């Protein structure tokens, strides 16, 4: 692995960590404050909030990755970042919660779509 490939991997890894870590942290904070009542009594609201947190994390992670790649590769890099964040999500949730949480399609769409959208928006709006 040469220096350029190593640098690209570090950029994708950092963006995916932000895209996955931010929703995990905020979700745990909200869950700790609200307790189990939020997820049990307001399951639709909690589900929407859960997807929105992943979308926001994806937007932020994708935008941060787009800062460090060329404009032509920004959306592709954002999608790769979102996919890597989804892989992190699945691994961590499998370790902590078991196999019952594997394959969440809403999280997949939110992370990949959010990261690609964040990279696209940064490419169009951020590099002025």
Per-residue model confidence as pLDDT tens digits over 39-95: 677 778 878 888 999 999 999 999 999 999 888 888 999 999 999 999 999 999 899
Model confidence at 3: pLDDT above 70: yes
Tokens at 57, concatenated: 């994390």
Tokens at 74, concatenated: 């920004």
| DSSP secondary structure, 98-110, as one string | -GGG---HHHHHH
Burial of residue 41 (CB within 10 Å: 0-12, 13-18, 19+) is exposed
Instruction: Please indicate, yes or no, whether the overall pTM of this predicted structure exceeds 0.95.
Output: no
54: nearest Cα among 92, 16, 11, 94:
16
Q: Mean of the pLDDT values across residues 110-114?
A: 95
Q: Which residue has the higher pLDDT, 10 or 71?
A: 10
Burial of residue 40 (CB within 10 Å: 0-12, 13-18, 19+) is exposed
Q: Mean of the pLDDT values across residues 115-127?
A: 87
Position 59 scores a pLDDT of 95
> Could you give the residue ranges of the DSSP H alpha helices within 1-128?
3-34, 36-41, 43-66, 74-97, 105-121
Position 124 scores a pLDDT of 83
**How many other β-carbons are positioned within 10 Å of the β-carbon of residue 128?**
4
- Which pLDDT band holds residue 38 (cuts at 50, 70, 90)? low
CA neighbours within 13 Å on the CB side: how many for 74?
Answer: 22
């Amino acid at each position: 692995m040469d220096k350029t490939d190593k640098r690209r991997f570090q950029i994708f890894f950092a963006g995916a960590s932000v895209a996955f870590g931010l929703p995990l942290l905020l979700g745990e904070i909200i869950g700790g404050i609200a307790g189990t009542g939020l997820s049990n009594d307001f399951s639709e609201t909690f589900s929407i909030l859960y997807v929105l947190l992943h979308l926001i994390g994806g937007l932020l992670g994708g935008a941060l990755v787009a800062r460090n790649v060329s404009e032509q590769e920004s959306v592709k890099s954002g999608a790769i970042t979102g996919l890597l964040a989804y892989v992190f999500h699945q691994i961590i949730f499998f370790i902590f919660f078991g196999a019952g949480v594997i394959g969440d399609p809403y999280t997949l769409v939110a992370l990949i779509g959010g990261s690609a959208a964040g990279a696209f928006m940064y490419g169009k709006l951020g590099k002025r």
